[in-house]
Amino acid sequence: MPIHLPTQNRRQFLITLGAGLVASQTGVYATETQEEIVYLLNDTHIGEKHPANSPVPSHLRQVVSELVGLKRKPACVLINGDLALKDGQPGDYRHFAKLIRPLRDANIETHLTLGNHDQRDVFYEVMKEEQPESPPVKSRHISVVQTKYANFFLLDSLHKTMVTQGTLGKAQRTWLAKALDAHSEKPAIIVTHHNPRLGGNPVHFPGGLTDSAELWELLVARPQVKAYIHGHIHHRGNAQHQGIHIFNTPATSYVANPDKSTTGWTIARLSPKGITLTTRTNDEEHAWNHQSKTLHWR
């Protein structure tokens, strides 16, 4: 299953991080939950040697600070792959774990998936307690995250570290079909690091999921499946294929072309009939900041 981060006691948090964030300074955290809200991040690309005040860790720190300072915490936070800078070095994960540790201290449920810049074994060397004893599919991090208005199916598209293309594989697709059938009472949202390759812009990106056609066949056959969320492209966009919405969410780390995109995160507000996506950007003056789009389920 994906990595689900446990909370830790406040003494351990303060010893490790000090009082750098607002919440850690006050010691006051939200106890109420906004059941309809989910925060979406991806492509954090944290490196061991990033200076504390350099853009990449500062971008992640910004959203973590917002989260721990909320008066009502979200149902959960999903960080969708490429946690590490390049090839999943131990120091990358130690730095990443330090940056997101305030989420644990604030009892904010956080789920991680892995991308093509991650390394499963190395991740578990750093966070041994996160390794599942009996994964549903061998060497894959997959699970179902249940919220009030939707079930999120977290998949593992990491085929091989530093290989751009991703793959789910037959075993994982078989598990997904069974899991979807067992949780058909709510809308289902698929969360995978890689984009689907189905034809049309932007979902055709060649670095995406190699078994997209096989995946889509099983998704379309199940009407509870409403949306597919991915990162990987370091851009933002919405598409649709055979009635299923495809959300390409902005990278939290950096962008390939700053003239066309920017860094940030996405706030998803769920309802029984659809979803409202609000883009938040690290640059407060960016045109995307606080833009919202509401989409209705098929």
Cα–Cα distance for residue pair 218/154, rounded to 1 Å? 16
Query: Coil, strand, or helix at residue 68?
Result: helix
Architecture of domain 3-296: 4-Layer Sandwich (3.60)
DSSP assignments along 246-296, one per residue: EEEPPPSS--S-TTT---EEEEEEEETTEEEEEEEESSTTSTTTT-EEEEE
Whether the pLDDT of residue 241 is over 80: the answer is yes
pLDDT confidence of 28, banded at 50, 70, 90?
confident
Once rounded to an integer, what is the mean pLDDT over residues 1-23?
Answer: 42
Burial of 190 (0-12, 13-18, 19+ CB in 10 A): buried
Higher pLDDT, residue 170 or 127? 170
For the chain, what are the domain ranges? 3-296
Tell me what percent of the residues of the chain surpass a pLDDT of 90. 80
Determine how many CB atoms are found less than 10 A away from the CB of residue 113: 27
Give the DSSP H or E segment for 103: helix 90-105
Listed range (133-147, 148-162, 251-265) with the worst mean pLDDT: 133-147
What residue type is assigned to position 52 of the chain? A
What pLDDT is attached to residue 177?
Answer: 98
Tell me what percent of the residues of the chain surpass a pLDDT of 70. 89
Distances (CA, A) of 295 to 1, 30, 79, 218, 263: 29, 29, 22, 22, 22
Once rounded to an integer, what is the mean pLDDT over residues 239-248?
Answer: 96
Instruction: Enumerate residues 6+ apart whose C-beta is below 8 A from 160.
Output: 116
Instruction: Enumerate residues 6+ apart whose C-beta is below 8 A from 187.
Output: 149, 150, 151, 224, 225, 226, 227, 270, 272, 297
Whether the pLDDT of residue 165 is over 70: the answer is yes
Cβ(44)–Cβ(86) below 8 Å: no
Backbone angles phi, psi at 125, to 5 degrees: -65, -35
Distances (CA, A) of 116 to 76, 108, 161: 23, 26, 5
Per-residue pLDDT tens digits for 214-227: 999 999 999 999 99
Its pTM stands at 0.91
What pLDDT is attached to residue 26?
Answer: 53
Distances (CA, A) of 261 to 174, 194, 235: 36, 18, 6
What residue type is assigned to position 7 of the chain? T
pLDDT confidence of 9, banded at 50, 70, 90?
very low
The mean predicted confidence, pLDDT, of the chain is 90
What pLDDT is attached to residue 27?
Answer: 64
What pLDDT is attached to residue 18?
Answer: 38
What pLDDT is attached to residue 1?
Answer: 45
What residue type is assigned to position 30 of the chain? A
Determine how many CB atoms are found less than 10 A away from the CB of residue 99: 21
Kindly state the tokens that stand for 104: 């644990």
Distances (CA, A) of 50 to 83, 99, 253: 14, 12, 12
Cβ(206)–Cβ(194) below 8 Å: no
What pLDDT is attached to residue 201?
Answer: 67
